[in-house]
Amino acid sequence: MAWGKRLLAAVLLAGQVLVHILAGKINRRNTLEQMALVGPASLSITLMTMGSVGMVFTIQVAREFINFGATAAVGGVLALALARELAPVLTAVVLAVGSVRPLRRKSVPCR
């Protein structure tokens, strides 16, 4: 039933956001500007980082699998490891780091 708690938490958070937007406590223009800076502006650095990490990871894993004689499993293991483990974590790290830079350049006054 852990998924139920997470679903409830997400619904409550969405409700709080909606209440704040409707009450006018969130500046829509500033929010949209920040979303534009964080999202599409971070795509290039995310792709470059993921490509570099993927290449290095592939070289390391393929070398070890060849040493063990398990060359048939290299593709499947790499695909699963990159898709399930590395890509989400590294994308989150790159976006978190990349989202700070544009916002520091253009500081938005708080109300």
Per-residue pLDDT of the chain (111 residues; tens, 9 = 90+): 788 888 888 889 888 888 887 888 877 787 777 777 776 766 777 778 778 888 888 888 888 888 888 888 888 888 888 888 787 887 777 777 766 665 555 555 555
**Could you tell me the pTM of the whole model?**
0.49
Does a structural domain hold residue 33? no
Q: How many domains does the chain have?
A: 1
Q: What pLDDT is attached to residue 28?
A: 77
Q: What pLDDT is attached to residue 34?
A: 73
Helices 87-105/28-38 angle, 10° precision:
130
Does a structural domain hold residue 4? no
Tokens 């500033």 — which residue?
30
| Cα separation values, 46 from 37, 41, 88, 89, 93, Å | 14, 10, 11, 11, 9
Domain span including residue 95: 39-105
Q: What pLDDT is attached to residue 111?
A: 55
By CB atoms closer than 10 A (0-12, 13-18, 19+), residue 42 is buried
Does a structural domain hold residue 100? yes
Does a structural domain hold residue 25? no
Does a structural domain hold residue 11? no
Q: Which ranges in 1-111 belong to alpha helices (H)?
A: 2-23, 28-38, 43-68, 74-80, 87-105
